[in-house]
Structure 1
């Protein structure tokens, strides 16, 4: 665990220069706006350890899969979001010496991510040769008001000398991904232009033919006034910039304003990239940095008004939850149904920026409650539009019908190349089905089921029908050769969660069919005819539901993670020596697979999804058995444990797990934040507060609250959108207050009692 970030309710603050933590800071201080994102790289040259990262949403590359032994069904490629043109670059040379924080003495350094207003600011004092000291002030943001716009204010102030300065703003498309095969570069130059006050660059991907255009303008000010300078355009392969020669005066600030537009062929025709970019660039440069920042901050204030969580009495927890909400809101805005959410968002390259089951299992609840309904609907439509690809994925693995959604994807094709994931981690289909249920149950948007949802459910159910097989010895249906959510177990039989979510998917599909027959029989009949659904399929699904096999331990009265789990030597995490953790960085894979230790919630994941189907005693027995065996080496794990612990009124365990998920990246719990923040698990942090401590559930389309409050907190409050209302829930040790800030009256349950909420209700805690 690494703690060097100062606690503050609205800011992430790094004081002092920590080059050994530069990769970590680059992840934590990242900024984005849903269209693009930028790691917290320095604008000026830096020869120290760094992961340069500028990313454009939806622009990806099909990097050829490399495996030692090819197997039928393997994907041909691994899709990855590309490291795009570096648009932030500003080289600085003072009296012939390049400013490089890895080579000069850094006397003072402060970096601040202002989450309330949505910008990154950095201030430092560097000592160059000859005892020359300069002050650098840099502020940048990617606009929430103009999605293609990135703006930088960069200033240089000599503190004890006069001197000559060469400052070079540039655009550099000669970029590669750190994980590219054989250091392959993915971009080719198409067009560039340069002038004394700006430049433009267009590059295209070597595969798939994505085009990306970047355009820049700049202004130079000294003494607060715009000046004319001696300039010289600079061009190299996939690079355009401008050398600006300046005379620096002691104590006088020289400011460079850099305005950039980044646009891709996903949004504009290729021949329109530069003309469109010029128009937008002129608009933002005419408005100026301060006016653009004001618009950007206003957009952030609106987001905070609808999604903020306030915690009193625990500054560390307050900072953490806002950091998580901030990263979620700048990663995905939901305006483009072609986009989804990568596990690292715009903060790094790991996992390729592709879509995982994380979106449906963890992210959807956040957007359901904090954004317009169309946002979460778009997440589901993303999967609906890839249904045909999901059918193809199932066919590639030898299935004659049904759909298998990919574990990792950009366009619906599977692009994950580890066999135990690609072929066996089929529980991801269950997360898609659950997301359909979760969305409809929360929003009441039954029209979605008629238009899209039931079509998806039918194909998922057909997959499960073919994937199970009947065991004569057990007189039951079984599912063999799978990997459950606990990826520290591969190729197991009858993973409880997989069996249960498969059966539940069939149950829910039949429930929706029954509803649609009753409410809109012509629509159902049309779907039945087009899909070829027959009563024989429905009968088979009912038989599978009735006769599905679930492994249990009768003595402990718990669900077994899979057949044979108790054959393993049973140890608890507390018995491990600290130097063995995390296991995945210290143990061989063979040793991990033979151990009883659990990477992330597995049985407990199923109990979280289907908690309203199980009583508290069942939940408690399973939680008490599995939680002590879980090492939480997946970022997706602590939040599920926090929610279930809160439901069991185990405040200490719930709070312990909350801190582990909330400060996972800020404190680098798992020693793996250098390559990007864990964006999708951040949604789980929000769930830990709202569904965990807030006890929020939607049962049969009605809101329920059963809150608890950690002992260290004085109060906490959160806002949720439910149907047409915006509700603010405030919880203290003495009372629960729920205010309807807009919308119609809502019927809800608090501590098991029903209330009609028109304006505000206050319930005293017994």
Structure 2
């Protein structure tokens, strides 16, 4: 791990160009707007190592599963977010010689991701082989207001020569995914046109028939004066470009403004793509680059208004949390309930860009607290719409009833091709059930249960009913052959977390049934008939609840991760030589599976989710036992440990884990940031601050706060939405101030005292005392 980025509260800044870290920077400096996004590839030619990536949300490809053998129930494909048309490209030539940062000397290089205003910029001086020096300054963004629009300002200034400078803006659809099987390309050309006013390129996927049209136009100025363009137009396979050349004197600045509209068949009819793209492009170009850039700043100001976290006294932590919030806000906006959140967002291809349980377990809390409740609701509706597919997934594995939500999906169908995940990591079902509870508990939107929630809960409960079996030897229900959250152990029996979250789901489903029968009897009757629920089923659920087996170590007083865990040699991570870490890059899989080492929170995941069911002493015993054995080689691990450490009063451990999750990608902790950023774990970073250091929970319709200020900070503040109120919370070493920015009163509890923060009101607390 080498820290090469400058510490700054609002920006990510790289102050020199190093090809060895370029692919890492391509991930970190990625931009997006929920509709599309791209890695921080260079506009000009770059012949060095690079992972080119431009992505359109919801556009994917079912790449054939590639395994050495086949098992019944295996998915037939692995869904991949597609590297689509490279729309940012601008070839630059100096007297006919291409500008290529891999082939010239690069001086005064600065790359900046301005998170406050939502744009990516670069400036540098290129020294060509013949000694010509060219200063380059670029700004680009994808619009948060006009979601189909991307814009680039590309300015060049000859510093020691006069000569012919050529710009070649282009659209290139002849692209492929780095992880494609057998180097297969996924796109076919539909139509193209290179024109003097605009050019366009339409591609379609070889399967599923997604169509994407990119429409391009550009202007050029010299020292701010518009130039007349007479472009040389080029059309090749999956490629269009326009070439313009200008005699340019020393110190004159030539600036190209490139505007692109990217539209897809998800939103427009197949025969309307060029027209729709042209209309969006024309409106954007008429507004002009400066107006678009101001719109971008205004849109991001609104985003930050509801989601910013301010940390005083720790620039590293401040930069880390804002980077995570920025990536979350540009990955998912909640405006389209057909979309979800991929583990890499718009920053890379790894994991296929598909939906995992990460969304329900880690992302839902962020959107619940920082945006209108409809945003989180759409994440839940996404799963409701996939319920029939989840039932199909269960049937494919031989179950006669119930729903098994996929580990990996784009359309509700399982598309993960590792058997120990596809067949065994079934705890994902519990995360989806928990997200329903979390949403209703936080928002108070109990209507959701009758509208959508109960159907999902009932089908998940039916799956658990059939997945367990009764052990005569133990006299208990058991769960055999599973993989828990700790993926460094596969095919285990009675993973504590899986057994516990299954029982919790059954308990919650029964609670919802009772709630509906009392308060919505007509809807209750309708749903019981629709689902075909029988008393024998609910009786069986109650029997499972009462008689589930949980592995325990009575001597230590801890829940065992699974049967046989104590057969392992228990050697703490701190006793491993540094060269062994990370294990997944240095040990064989066989050695990892036989070891005691834990990839991410497993038992502790359950204690985090179900924290109101266990006392502090129980949490402490389990934390003290499992954390020393945890290598945190999943990006989802440090945040859970940070939250629990806060609750237990382990303030230094909490801070250590927070900083690890906050700067996971910025500092490349796991040596894998070049593949893309860990977008869903970024929501865990937010959780570490809000649920950890601020101690935020919701109990009995109150927003509960139990904050403390880490010793590395002077203070911190944040905003949360809660049932129509937006609350500004400021925490210092000796006081807590909660201000209501809305007309809607909010019920809160600080430590152990309950209060109402009135319309535009304020509450002040000094530890246990409170003044209003």
Matches within 5 A, 1:535-554: 535-554=535-554
CA shift, 1:308, in A, is 0.3
> What pairs up with 1:133-152 in 2 under 5 angstroms?
133-152=133-152
Matched residues in 1 for 2:220 and 2:445: separation? 53
Superposition deviation, residue 198 in structure 1: 2.3
Query: 2:2, 2:336 → 1: CA distance?
Result: 36
1:580 aligns with: 580
1:735-758 per-residue CA deviation (whole Å, 9 max, x = no partner) reads 111111113222211111111211
Offset at residue 297 of structure 1 (A): 1.0
**Residue number in structure 2 paired with 1:623:** 623
Counterparts of residues 79-98 of structure 1 (less than 5 Å): 79-98=79-98
Are 2:717 and 1:703 aligned?
Answer: no
Q: Report whether the alignment pairs 1:751 with 2:755.
A: no
Please state how far the C-alpha of 1:97 moved relative to its aligned partner.
1.2
In 1, the alpha carbon distance for the partners of 2:344 and 2:159 equals: 40
Separation in 2 of the partners of 1:44 and 1:141?
Answer: 16
Residue pairs, 1:679-718, within 5 angstroms: 679-718=679-718
Aligned 8 A contact 2:310 2:718 in 1 = yes
* Counterpart Cα distance in 1 of 2:632 and 2:2: 17
Partner of residue 109, structure 1: 109
- Between the aligned partners of 1:560 and 1:58, the Cα distance in structure 2 is 40
CA distances 1:366-422 after superposition (whole Å, capped 9, x unpaired): 000001111000000000000000000000000000000000000000000000000
- Residue of structure 2 in register with 1:39 after alignment: 39
Partner of 2:158: 158
Q: Distance in 1 between matches of 2:194 and 2:559?
A: 66
Counterpart-to-counterpart distance in 2, 1:701 and 1:532: 32
CA contact under 8 A between 1:649 and 1:708: conserved in structure 2? no
Cα distance in 2 between the residues matched to 1:223 and 1:71:
65
Secondary structure of the 2:674 match is: coil
Aligned to 2:473: 473
User: 2:237 corresponds to which residue?
Assistant: 237
Task: Give the match for residue 49 of structure 1.
Answer: 49
Query: Aligned residue for 2:252?
Result: 252
Within 2, Cα distance between the matches of 1:195 and 1:226?
19
The alpha carbon displacement at 1:229 in A equals 3.5
Is it true that 1:2 corresponds to 2:7 in the alignment? no
The secondary structure found in structure 2 opposite 1:617 is helix
TM-superposed CA distance for 1:249, in Å, is 1.1
Per-residue CA shift, 1:188-243, capped at 9, x if unaligned? 00010111232100000000000000000000000211011442001110000011
Residue 347 of structure 1 aligns with which residue? Answer: 347
**What's the counterpart of residue 660 of structure 1?**
660
Q: Is 1:229–1:246's contact at 8 Å kept on the other side of the alignment?
A: no
Partner of 2:563: 563
TM score, norm. by length of structure 2: 0.99
Matched residues in 2 for 1:107 and 1:116: separation? 27
Aligned residue number for residue 327 of structure 1: 327
1:490 matches 2:490: yes
In the TM superposition, what whole-angstrom CA distance separates every residue of 1:317-362 from its partner, at most 9, and x where no partner exists? Answer: 0000000000000000000000000000000000010000000000
By how many angstroms is 1:91 displaced?
0.2
Aligned partner of 1:358 in structure 2 is 358
Q: How does 1:278-677 map to 2 (within 5 A)?
A: 278-677=278-677
Q: Which residue of 2 aligns with 1:764?
A: 766
Are 1:121 and 1:140, in contact at CA under 8 Å, matched by a contact in 2?
yes
Residue deviations 1:274-293 (CA, integer Å, cap 9, x gap): 01111111100000000011
State whether residues 723 and 746 of structure 2, in contact with CA within 8 Å, keep that contact through their aligned partners in structure 1: no
> Aligned partners of 1:723 and 1:756: how far apart in 2?
13
- CA contact under 8 A between 2:357 and 2:432: conserved in structure 1? yes
Deviations 1:428-449 (A, max 9, x none): 0000000000000001111110
Residues 241-270 of structure 1, C-alpha deviations (whole Å, 9 max, x = no match)? 011111111001000000000000000001
1:69 positional shift: 1.2
SS at match of 1:361: helix
Deviation at 1:80, TM superposition (A): 0.5
Q: Distance in 2 between matches of 1:728 and 1:367?
A: 16
Contact 2:216-2:258 at 8 Å conserved across structures: yes
In the TM superposition, what is the alpha-carbon distance from 1:709 to its structure 2 partner?
Answer: 1.1
Cα offset for 1:708? 1.4
**C-alpha contact (below 8 Å) 1:23/1:50 kept by paired residues:** yes
- 8 Å contact from structure 2 (residues 730, 736) kept in 1: yes
Q: CA offset at residue 67 of structure 1?
A: 0.6
Cα deviation for residue 689 of structure 1 reads 0.2
- My pick for the range that moved more, 92-101 or 744-753, is 744-753
Q: Which runs of 5+ in 1 are unaligned?
A: none
Tell me, yes or no, if the aligned pair for 1:733 and 1:765 is still in contact at 8 Å.
no
Question: Is the CA contact 2:701–2:747 (under 8 Å) kept in the aligned structure 1?
Answer: no
CA distance, structure 2, for counterparts of residue 566 and residue 447 of structure 1: 45
Contact 2:35 2:56 in 1 (8 A): yes
Superposition deviation, residue 599 in structure 1:
0.1
Paired residue total? 766
1:376 counterpart SS class:
helix
Shift of 1:556: 0.1
Residue 15 of structure 1 corresponds to which residue in structure 2? 15
Post-superposition offset of 1:495: 0.2
What secondary structure sits across from 1:450 in the alignment? helix
CA contact (8 A) 1:568 1:596 kept: yes
Question: 1: CA distance between counterparts of 2:276 and 2:746?
Answer: 46
Deviations 1:694-722 (A, max 9, x none): 00001233211111111010000010000
Q: Cα deviation per residue 1:589-646 (whole Å; 9 max; x = unaligned)?
A: 0000000000000000000000001000000000000000000000000000000000
CA distance in 2, matches of 1:486, 1:284: 48
Matched position secondary structure for 2:738:
strand
Give yes or no for contact 1:33–1:144 (8 Å, CA) kept in 2.
yes
Root mean square deviation of aligned Cα: 0.7
CA deviations over 1:101-125 (Å, ceiling 9, x no partner) = 0000112200000000000000000
Q: Deviation at 1:165?
A: 1.5
Give 1:667 deviation, angstroms. Answer: 0.2
Query: What is the SS of the residue equivalent to 2:681?
Result: helix
Separation in structure 1 between the aligned mates of residue 700 and residue 48 of structure 2, nearest angstrom: 56
Counterpart CA distance in 1 for 2:753 and 2:653 is 27
- Matches of 1:471 and 1:603, distance apart in 2: 22
d(CA) in 1 for partners of 2:629, 2:672:
21
Q: Distance in 1 between matches of 2:229 and 2:319?
A: 43
Corresponding residue SS for 2:57: strand
- Tell me how far apart the structure 2 counterparts of residues 388 and 555 of structure 1 sit (CA, whole Å): 45
Query: Displacement, 1:85?
Result: 0.1
- Unaligned 5+ runs, structure 2: none
Aligned to 1:73: 73
CA distance in 2, matches of 1:161, 1:244: 19
